[in-house]
Amino acid sequence: MEEEKMCSTAGLPEIFGSLVFNDQVMKERLPKEVYQAVHETAKNGTHLKLEVANTVATVMKNWAVEHGATHFTHWFQPMTGLTAEKHDSFITPIGDGKIIMDFSGKELVKGEPDASSFPSGGLRATFEARGYTAWDPSSPAFIKDGTLYIPTAFCSYGGQALDKKTPLLRSMEALNASTINLLHILGNKEVKHIDTTVGAEQEYFLIDKDMYLKRKDLVMTGRTLIGAPAPKGQEMDDHYFGVLKPKVAEYMHDLDMELWKLGVPAKTKHNEVAPSQHELAPVFETANVAVDHNQLVMEIMKKVADRHHLACLIHEKPFEGINGSGKHNNWSLVTDSGENLLDPGSTPAENLQFLVILLGIIKAVDDYQDLMRVSVATAGNDHRLGANEAPPAVVSVFIGDELEGVLKSIEDGSAFKGTGKTQMEIGAHVLPHILRDTTDRNRTSPFAFTGNKFEFRMPGSSLSIADPNIILNTAVAEAFDEISEKLKGVKKEDLASAVHELLKELIASHKRIIFNGNGYTDEWIEEAAKRGLDNLKSLPEAMPRLISEKSIGLFTKHKVFTEEELKSRYEIFLENYSKTIHIEALTMIEMVRKDFTSGFVAYTKELTEEALNKRELLDGKGASYEVTLLKKLDASGTEINKRLSALIRDVAKAESENDALKDAEYYHDAILEDMSKLRAAVDEAEVYIPDEFLPYPTYGEMLFALR
Ligand code: ADP
Ligand code: MG
């Protein structure tokens, strides 16, 4: 047994990345100058000469064909939040009915998919419907299902971003420039380049596939729209980190293997808090690779589930009454020499730099808290944020007691006593020596410092993490610029005290965003309001902030979005919200009318017959239990009918709106409200109807069936 296990894992290093055209493959196969040119392009975005591109294309194609590929695709990330691909074969006819496998530099570098059907928020008039895709050499190509996947950015003919990768790369560049500038001012002159690093923990649910297929709500919308709670939920805390059920363990193993082949460094897997909920965490990578990989993770999770006769649910709130799923975005900055800028150092100079970086980030999150909220706003995530599980809709920063103590002592000039682990004195010129503190287990904070990185916990499980990282990178770039501006020109010998003064200022103006307590409580929401923090509860409430003057100023200054790009995104997010709820409403109407009603009618029919039979038998008496039930169900039926009619009526009205924001507000205020009332009525009745009468599985069956 032991031996077998060793054999089966012995090949892992070979399996990992075996389907990826990664750095090692390039080094082995490309001529040295070509390899260097590609590297240069990947790092600095320098233009790649056509001869160079031709060589890379040929080598890439040969490698892909050796690994069984027949096609290639420019893989991109349109504003749907999903990925898109169009496959072309390598086949080129050469006469006589013969073909060769061909792939040119031009085909590698640029593609022109018909873009007219992707959301553009009005950016792309139909007469210039062409969009083009451009190779992103900083994210490696890979083979999946016989096709070579080339990660690309997707732009309109006029160069406007139509995707999530383009602004992400721009934001990484902006943050790189601002950080380098700041580090140089702080005297750290060796650093030439910094990267944003991201590790995205992904939560998901697994349920039986047959059950899934019987639920129109799950199939059409990803979440259950009706369904009474099971007698048991997550209150026993017996699922979190619990033993993996064999079927789940097999699935996870297969999933890891698939991901490893694609070079996705899947690392941790465990059961989550809710029944049937699980998590996968990868090792962190450069932000844009992490974003690409997270898209792959979500796709492969679903694909592998299908093979195991399971359904993988990535929606933020598949089940009411138990925890939803999020995606923790772990984020840090690393220099070209591998120094993590969020690692508290061991010398005063390193700590000085650390504190400036830390406060720069705190400042960014405070100044742009509304945009942080916007970056995670989706119809699905609205069910999570502010409910009693996920972080609230109020953005705050957790830094732990230790660091808070340090900041406090800097602010008031007192000596920091520490909590036993650290001793330091803070005079005007002496900055504290900070030990790395990894004790944070405050899971309620939306944005938590966890020792050597920040963990942004607001993103929903199905979100492309490009969105939060674009905003975070840009906001931090701006904060660093403002800090640099203040320190510019300060003489070397005055730097430490100038920094100290600046830190004091920063702490005083941004400490309102720091909160180490329990973020789920009502007291915090009240306290946050007193501190003047935003509490943007829903997408329609949050979204206008995306096109505020401040936001436009930020993004255009750092060349991450043009004003038009920003406005188009605003339209797309709003439309997406309204469309999502519209589909949910229609699905709910159909499911209640057909599926639920058939069960309801069948059961009440049986009850009625039973009551009549009994009465006949008992000379017109008896059957009081059946009659009571019937009366209850009849009352529910009346209520359901009323609520259903209201929903149908209001959905019909919604279709006549045409302002994107008003539309979204209407869906939020009227339709969601109707749906929730209809649901309450249906769920109340469902409790009385035996499972076998319903043509779909109940919560209890779905959540506890897997073995
Ligand atoms: P927890 O569940 O306690 O948050 P996990 O180990 O599940 O911790 O996840 C931590 C995540 O943070 C992993 O994906 C890890 O790769 C990532 N991470 C660690 N260090 C960094 C860093 N410097 N930059 C970005 N992400 C990081
Ligand atoms: Mg986490």
Please list the alpha-helical segments (H only) found in 445-596. 466-487, 495-510, 522-530, 539-542, 549-557, 563-590
Q: What is the dotted CATH code of the domain comprising 576-704? A: 1.20.120.1560
Q: Which residue has the tokens 């006819």?
A: 93
From ligand 1's centre to the CA of 199, what distance in Å?
6
Query: Tell me, what's the pLDDT at 423?
Result: 40
Three-state secondary-structure class, residue 100: strand
Nearest to 309 by CA among 250, 239, 242: 250
User: Whose CA is closest to atom 14 on ligand 1?
Assistant: 199
Mutation test residue for ligand 1: of 194, 195, 198, 201, the one with most atoms within 8 Å of CB: 201
Query: Tell me, what's the pLDDT at 46?
Result: 80
Q: Domain 11-163: state its class.
A: alpha beta
From ligand 1's centre to the CA of 351, what distance in Å?
22
Query: Tell me, what's the pLDDT at 442?
Result: 66
From ligand 1's centre to the CA of 27, what distance in Å?
29
Three-state secondary-structure class, residue 194: strand
Please list the alpha-helical segments (H only) found in 368-520. 369-374, 400-412, 466-487, 495-510
Give the closest ligand to the alpha carbon of residue 445.
2
- Which is the closest atom of ligand 1 to the Cα of 332? 24
- Which is the closest atom of ligand 1 to the Cα of 198? 25
- Residues 376 and 539: their CA atoms lie apart, in Å, by 9
Give the strand pairing for 87-89 and 91-93: unpaired
- Which is the closest atom of ligand 1 to the Cα of 343? 23
- Burial group, residue 661, by CB count within 10 angstroms (0-12, 13-18, 19+): middle
Query: Tell me, what's the pLDDT at 129?
Result: 61
Query: Tell me, what's the pLDDT at 127?
Result: 46
User: Whose CA is closest to atom 7 on ligand 1?
Assistant: 281
Give the closest ligand to the alpha carbon of residue 281.
1
Query: Tell me, what's the pLDDT at 231?
Result: 82
- Which is the closest atom of ligand 1 to the Cα of 282? 14
Mutation test residue for ligand 1: of 284, 328, 361, the one with most atoms within 8 Å of CB: 284
From ligand 1's centre to the CA of 450, what distance in Å?
9
Give the closest ligand to the alpha carbon of residue 338.
1
Query: Tell me, what's the pLDDT at 443?
Result: 73
- Burial group, residue 517, by CB count within 10 angstroms (0-12, 13-18, 19+): middle
- Which is the closest atom of ligand 1 to the Cα of 342? 23
Give the closest ligand to the alpha carbon of residue 279.
1
From ligand 1's centre to the CA of 445, what distance in Å?
16
From ligand 1's centre to the CA of 449, what distance in Å?
11
Three-state secondary-structure class, residue 231: coil
- Residues 669 and 681: their CA atoms lie apart, in Å, by 19
Give the closest ligand to the alpha carbon of residue 465.
1
pTM of the model: 0.94
Quick one: CA dihedral 538, 539, 543, 544, positive or negative? negative
From ligand 2's centre to the CA of 62, what distance in Å?
41
Q: CATH topology of 11-163 equal to that of 202-226+233-325?
A: no
From ligand 1's centre to the CA of 433, what distance in Å?
24
User: Whose CA is closest to atom 1 on ligand 1?
Assistant: 201
Q: 179 to each of 150, 216, 431, 472, how far by Cα in Å?
A: 30, 49, 21, 13
- Which is the closest atom of ligand 1 to the Cα of 201? 14
Per run of 10 residues, the mean pLDDT along the chain (length 707 residues) is 46 92 95 93 83 95 96 94 91 90 93 78 62 91 96 88 94 98 96 97 97 98 96 79 90 97 95 91 97 98 97 97 94 96 80 93 98 97 80 92 86 63 42 56 83 95 97 98 96 90 96 91 93 96 98 98 95 96 98 98 97 91 92 97 98 82 96 98 97 96 87
Please list the alpha-helical segments (H only) found in 92-141. 105-109
- Residues 168 and 673: their CA atoms lie apart, in Å, by 36
Q: What angle, 0 to 180 degrees and rounded to 10, lies between the N-to-C axes of helices 624-654 and 597-617?
A: 160
- Which is the closest atom of ligand 1 to the Cα of 200? 14
Mutation test residue for ligand 1: of 453, 454, 455, 465, the one with most atoms within 8 Å of CB: 453
- Residues 192 and 190: their CA atoms lie apart, in Å, by 6
Give the strand pairing for 20-21 and 147-156: unpaired
As a whole number of Å, the end-to-end CA separation of the chain is 23
Nearest to 166 by CA among 336, 85, 45: 45
Give the closest ligand to the alpha carbon of residue 272.
1
Query: Tell me, what's the pLDDT at 352?
Result: 87
From ligand 1's centre to the CA of 328, what distance in Å?
9
Widest pairwise Cα distance in the chain: 105
From ligand 1's centre to the CA of 284, what distance in Å?
7
- Residues 144 and 297: their CA atoms lie apart, in Å, by 13
User: Whose CA is closest to atom 3 on ligand 1?
Assistant: 441
Give the closest ligand to the alpha carbon of residue 459.
2
Domain limits of the chain?
11-163, 173-196+335-560, 202-226+233-325, 576-704
Write the CB contacts of 547 (distance below 8 Å, at least 6 apart in sequence). 566, 567, 570
Query: Tell me, what's the pLDDT at 424?
Result: 41
- Which is the closest atom of ligand 1 to the Cα of 283? 16
For residue 195, list its beta bridge partners: 334
Beta carbons within 10 angstroms of residue 38's beta carbon: 20
Are the CB atoms for 259 and 144 separated by under 8 Å?
Answer: no
The residue type at 662: K
From ligand 1's centre to the CA of 330, what distance in Å?
6
Are the CB atoms for 496 and 360 separated by under 8 Å?
Answer: no
CB-based pocket (< 6 A), ligand 1: 197-199, 201, 268, 281-284, 328, 330-332, 340, 452-453, 455
From ligand 2's centre to the CA of 457, what distance in Å?
7
The distance from CA 187 to its chain's CA centroid, rounded to whole angstroms, is: 36
On whether the 202-226+233-325 domain is CATH 3.10.180.10, my answer is no
